[in-house]
Amino acid sequence: MHLQQAMVINVANNFVDVAINQIIHRCLIRGNLKFNKPKILVGDYVEVNFSDPNYPLVEKILPRINELYRPSIANVDQVLIVSALVQPAFSSFLLNKLLTIFNFYHLAMILVFTKTDLVTKDHEVWTKIESYQDLGIKTILLSNVTKQGLQELKQVFINKLSLLTGTSGVGKSTTLNSLDKDLKLWTQNISAALNRGKHTTTKSRLYFCLGGIIADTPGFSVFQLQGLTNVDIATNFPSFNNIWQKCKFRTCLHQQESECAIKLAVKNRVIPTFFYEDYCKILGEFQHTKK
């Protein structure tokens, strides 16, 4: 049996595309891997049987470092969360959902804020952006028009499998096209009626470029915190880091509990009010969904 290790870059119903030294091979999937768990994900390392070169067969999924199911991807080194400052309007609520779940999975994160050319220095959105910069997460301000931030962004992809994610219309595909002209990803304009982009990426796929591997994933309007508990949200919400440990109760949800360090920090303006309001909304939505 002639087996080689490969990385999965695209998953379809009956086959997968894998890369070996950046050469792409279309492979069939052994029956037990089609129907049993775990399912093959983009980013998986697999063993491929090349005994019949015309019909290479994926035989085995190798152990994963990590895995996500929305978007569906495995073995991620870092996550780049892309948010537009305007068009569509900046949503701290959706961004904080993403930060919460990626905190839970202990993934390295980079925040990319696009369309800086459309926002004046006195725009109110900058107050919130400064609050995110204060979290200590690497932040890149980007414009695909003026090219601000593009050179800085290029450097972060080197030798990494990077997940590029965010809501529809924020400029993920446009940014990749700006960084690498050979990609030529499909982009569409914003739907003004919905204040969001039309979905241009329909499934996760890996691209070898900029010295690393980039996963461009479907945009989304709803993001569910699958696999987490109430306490997971309370302890992984951005800006709550280290502060929640000072709460009297280890299971404190920062609602009606006494001696809550988070509520005190909000009162003393250590935590911006909009962060806490987003947290309450996310927790409430999560609890309602579970019911």
Residue 192 region by backbone torsions, left for phi larger than 0, else alpha for psi between -120 and 50, else beta: alpha
Low-confidence ranges of the chain (pLDDT < 70): 70, 183-204, 216-224, 291
Cα–Cα distances in angstroms (integers) from residue 191 to residues 70, 83, 117, 216, in the given order: 23, 16, 20, 21
- At 48, list the tokens: 């491929």
Q: Are β-strands 161-165 and 72-74 bridged in parallel, bridged antiparallel, or unpaired?
A: unpaired
Find how far residue 79's CA is from the centre of its chain. 5
Q: Mean pLDDT for the chain?
A: 86
Quote the pLDDT of residue 154. Answer: 93
SS3 label, residue 236: helix
Calculated CA dihedral for residues 105, 110, 111, 116, nearest 10 degrees: -160
Quote the pLDDT of residue 29. Answer: 93
**All domains of the chain, ordered by start, with CATH?**
3-64 (2.40.50.140), 69-216 (3.40.50.300), 230-290 (1.10.40.50)
How confident is the model over 81-129, as pLDDT tens digits? Answer: 999 999 989 999 999 999 998 999 899 999 999 999 999 999 999 999 9
Number of alpha helices (DSSP H) and beta strands (DSSP E) in the chain = 8, 15
Count of positions (residues) in the chain: 291
How confident is the model over 214-243, as pLDDT tens digits? Answer: 886 654 444 567 778 999 999 999 999 889
d(CA 196, CA 221): 8
Quote the pLDDT of residue 288. Answer: 84
- The candidate with the shortest Cα–Cα distance to 224, out of 233, 215, 213, 216, is 233
Quote the pLDDT of residue 291. Answer: 67
Residue with tokens 């152990």: 63
- 26-34's contacts with Cβ under 8 Å and 24+ in sequence apart are 26/56, 27/56, 27/57, 27/58, 28/55, 28/56, 28/57, 28/58, 29/57, 29/58, 30/57, 30/58, 30/59, 33/58, 33/60, 33/61
- At 181, list the tokens: 């002209």
Please report which helix (H) or strand (E) contains residue 164, including its range.
strand 161-165
